[in-house]
Amino acid sequence: MSLNANYTPKQFNLSGLKGISGRIAEFLKDGKVDQEEMPAYSELTRRLGFEYNGMVLHEYYFGNMTRGGSGDPATRSPFVRAAELSFGSYPIWKTDFVSIGKMRGVGWAICYQDPATRRLSNHWITLHEVGNVAGFAPVLVMDVWEHAFLLDYPPAERPRYIEAFFSSIAWDVVERRLLAPVSAPAAAG
């Protein structure tokens, strides 16, 4: 059972809060962004992608973990078959994913599914928003920011954290993501 089996996303109406999250709406309410508003508007807007993607990626990350995981998916599972189709074998896929996770710097290792081909590809995502592949669906998300493992492992022991992460993967969640209907981007007419 995954940790988020009983999780229901919460909705919050935060419009109208004073001094907290309504500044962008405040700038736009008169239908224009004035010259003196532009610096603050620009910075808030640029920051929005970082903050929002950070929230979404953490939801994927926590959602694909469970207590007592098996370490690797079942031998003939849909994920293993997808890894074989995309990388030749599951061990090669895993070596690629783990190696991406071991790369220097803070960020994310994400296994995406291409909606057009349904093939898997692994990517390094710097920060939260730099490097995401437009239209691709995250299947497995691993947080490799140091805050994800610093309480258990020093920064130099990131590989041990990655081993622990693999022992906690909720493969049933990963496979639901993998098998979910996806739509390829529409071709230009």
Q: How far apart are CA 171 and CA 139, in angstroms?
A: 10
Over residues 26-55, the pLDDT tens digits come to 777 788 877 887 878 787 777 788 888 898
Q: What architecture is the 10-189 domain classified under in CATH?
A: 3-Layer(bab) Sandwich (3.55)
Q: How far apart are CA 2 and CA 175, in angstroms?
A: 13
The more confident residue out of 109 and 19 is 109
State residue 3's pLDDT score. 43
Domain boundaries, the chain: 10-189
Please name the residues in contact with 3: beta carbons below 8 A apart, sequence gap of 6 or more. Answer: 62, 63, 65, 66, 67, 170
The more confident residue out of 176 and 20 is 176
Average pLDDT on 79-108 reads: 96
Over residues 109-134, the pLDDT tens digits come to 999 999 999 999 999 999 888 888 88
Q: Is 179 helix (H, G, I), strand (E, B) or coil?
A: helix
State residue 21's pLDDT score. 52
The single-letter code of the amino acid at 7 is Y
With a pLDDT cut of 90, the percent of the chain lying above it is 53
pLDDT category of residue 77 using cuts at 50, 70 and 90 = very high
State residue 8's pLDDT score. 61
Determine the angle formed by the axes of helices 78-87 and 90-101, rounding to 10 degrees: 80
Q: What angle do CA 31, 10, 180 make, to 5 degrees?
A: 95
- As a whole number, the mean pLDDT across the chain is 85
pTM comes to: 0.79
